[in-house]
Amino acid sequence: MKEIIGKKLGMTRIFTEDGLSVPVSVIEAGPCVVVSRKTIARDGYEALQVGYGERRENLFSKPQKGHFEKAGVAPRHYLREIRFDGEIEVGGELKADIFKKGERVDVTGISRGFGFQGVMKRHHFAGAQATHGQSDRRRAPGSIGQSSYPSRVFKGMKMPGKMGKDKVTILNLRIMDVISDQNLLLVSGSIPGKKGTLVKIRSSNRAK
């Protein structure tokens, strides 16, 4: 199991050796510094706590600064726990080169938030007819319940509401290229979020 924290930089496309054009997401993967190590004896499970990203030092509280000073590393913007089977000590760094070209990964992030949206944008409803006397129901959902029985709206009915800003994992994406000197991963297809979204990349166990 290998995991690393990074951020989405955007999308582009590359050409394979066969001349095929492949859309890819560009991810800045690391460098992530190991701040502490969770052990079964002390914490009940195995994990690494890693820090990623820069932030002004005056924005950290004294306990936060003390936590980083204990590890002997500079303060980092994000702290996350990951699973990593390799041997690495506190203060060590994880970089994009822990992955190789051709490997399969799962990418987790927060999807783009669109706020409150109607049923046509949120659920792809077709909308009502534009003629035969209707004047203000073009984008309305229509009937959502029954009359005398059961006289209620069923749970799960597709309605207007908050759209996006959910935790989403895209499974089994192929790493098309690794640019080690810039800590970049080029992953086939799209991943959750907008530019700058924090993402977690882990080795996939679903690859055939």
- The pLDDT profile of the chain, 208 residues, written as one tens digit per residue, is 889 999 999 999 999 888 899 999 999 998 999 998 888 899 898 888 999 988 888 888 899 889 888 888 888 999 999 888 878 888 888 999 899 999 999 999 999 999 999 999 999 999 888 888 888 888 999 888 877 888 888 999 999 999 999 999 999 999 999 999 999 999 999 999 999 999 999 998 876 5
- For residues 81 and 148, membership in a common domain is answered with no
Q: How confident is the model at residue 13, as a pLDDT?
A: 94
- For residues 41 and 68, membership in a common domain is answered with yes
Domain range enclosing 86: 31-94
Q: Which two tokens stand for residue 204?
A: 């996939």
Q: Is the pTM of this model over 0.85?
A: no
Running DSSP on this structure, what letter comes out for residue 112? P
Distance CA 163, CA 119 (A): 10
* Domains contained in the chain, number: 3
Cis peptide before 150 (omega within 30 of 0): yes
In the beta sheet, which residues pair with residue 201? 4, 107
- For residues 75 and 150, membership in a common domain is answered with no
- For residues 130 and 175, membership in a common domain is answered with no
Say how far residue 93 (Cα) sits from the centre of its chain.
Answer: 21
In the beta sheet, which residues pair with residue 82? 48
